[in-house]
A and B are shown apart, each in its own frame.
Chain A
């Protein structure tokens, strides 16, 4: 069966420090991968998605970047964190659609990032 791992679960980082959040998927190949950010009590904002190794699409200009060095690994990074980067970060994967895009997404448990 497929599983998604996201870590760490919580993180407190000072302003100006670097960030690396990792997400890995097991039990599938060629997944679409997504990074979302969720502010407290709000909806999910799509940050990045990837349809293959090295293929990253950014949805919003920001202080963050993403990379996909391996098929089932998705990394969210920042060189220098800002206070506004605080939030709940969620990684998700979806099967590579075949024909119609009738697929659901599967989410990790999230990382709560607090920038102080």
Chain B
């Protein structure tokens, strides 16, 4: 089952604009992770935020986590055409070690 659901499913913006993607989940988490996938390729880890953290930054990426709302957001600032990809949130489900992913957001950055 998918433990994270992203929205929007697709997002198209102009280069230089900011892109915000959201992720909701249903059960408690130890951490939430964001990944990027270029078309037809494997996933690359972007950032991990622990359940006791509220915000984390990495370069142009900013991730927030609201455990009371069971939601997270990924903000990409000053987007570039090279940011075009699918973005997924993922979580580890308890002690069973399953790493489960949401359905992803397809981001298109137009030059």
**Which chain A residues have a beta carbon within 8 Å of chain B's beta carbons?**
6, 32, 34, 36, 41-46, 49, 51, 57, 59, 88, 90, 92, 94, 97, 100-110, 112
Nearest residue in B to A90 (C-beta to C-beta)? B42
Residue in B35, B48, B100, B103 whose beta carbon sits within 8 Å of that of A46 in the complex: B100
By DSSP majority rule, is chain A's interface helix, strand, loop, or mixed?
A: strand
Given contacts A94-B97, A103-B92, A105-B45, 4 further A-B contacts (CB under 8 A): A32-B97, A44-B101, A45-B2, A101-B97
Nearest residue in A to B104 (C-beta to C-beta)? A43
A41 in contact with B45 given A102-B31, A105-B99 (CB within 8 Å): no
By DSSP majority rule, is chain B's interface helix, strand, loop, or mixed?
A: strand
B-side interface residues, number (CB < 8 Å): 27
Bound CA–CA A60/B84 (angstroms): 31
**Chain B residue contacts of A97, Cβ below 8 A:** 97
A101 in contact with B45 given A43-B104, A49-B99 (CB within 8 Å): no
